[in-house]
């Protein structure tokens, strides 16, 4: 039991929150490409991605391992992105902090999604049973390249009015 829910129910809630974070994050990042952002979607993305990391800590064992490290990194970059957006309103340097932080957090969520997909989806498991095989590595490199490109384009194209949060 986790927070009064069965482990399977809590896991399902965690997955739903993660998917909300991924899909809303993708919409936010794609909006940057035309220098637009919905403040509501940005808030949904940031909140759901924070919740993804927090609930992820509750799912994993007490020992420190890769899931906890990824969650901690995600929370640090999310804190910076949230401060950049809501405290400094993307002014000057803080626009870059927001874009980089949000992009890294979304990438980490997708990185974990790929790991989970290769662990849980029957059609992917045989392709990379130890997650060191070429299909897994190619998938992770592709995700990384996509987010590096999107982050770079976001930095070049997203220029909101100074003093606005979205």
Tokens of 84: 């950049």
What is the value of pTM for the model shown? Answer: 0.92
Q: What's residue 106's pLDDT? A: 98
Distance (Å, rounded) from C-alpha 57 to C-alpha 85?
25
SS3 147: helix
Distance (Å, rounded) from C-alpha 71 to C-alpha 69?
5
Give the up-direction half-sphere exposure of residue 85: CA atoms within 13 A in the CB hemisphere: 24
Distance (Å, rounded) from C-alpha 124 to C-alpha 96?
36
Q: What's residue 163's pLDDT? A: 57
In the chain (166 residues long), the average pLDDT of successive 10-residue segments reads 82 95 97 94 98 88 82 97 97 96 98 94 94 96 98 95 60
Give the up-direction half-sphere exposure of residue 151: CA atoms within 13 A in the CB hemisphere: 18
Q: What's residue 61's pLDDT? A: 67
pLDDT in tens, 53-77: 999 888 876 778 888 899 999 999 9
């Amino acid at each position: 039991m986790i927070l009064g829910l069965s482990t399977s129910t809590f896991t399902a809630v965690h997955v739903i929150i993660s998917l909300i974070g991924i899909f809303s994050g993708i919409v936010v990042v794609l909006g940057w490409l035309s220098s637009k952002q919905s403040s509501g979607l940005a808030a949904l993305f940031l909140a759901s991605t924070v919740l993804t990391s927090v609930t992820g800590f509750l799912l994993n064992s007490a020992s420190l391992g890769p899931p906890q490290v990824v969650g901690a990194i995600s929370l640090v970059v999310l804190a910076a992105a949230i401060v950049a957006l809501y405290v400094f309103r993307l002014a000057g340097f803080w626009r870059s902090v927001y874009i980089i932080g949000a992009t890294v957090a979304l990438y980490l969520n997708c990185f974990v999604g790929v790991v989970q997909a290769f662990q849980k989806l029957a059609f992917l498991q045989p392709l990379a049973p130890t997650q060191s095989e070429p299909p897994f590595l190619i998938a992770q490199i592709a995700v990384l390249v996509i987010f590096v490109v999107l982050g770079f384009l976001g930095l070049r194209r997203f220029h909101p009015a100074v003093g606005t949060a979205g």
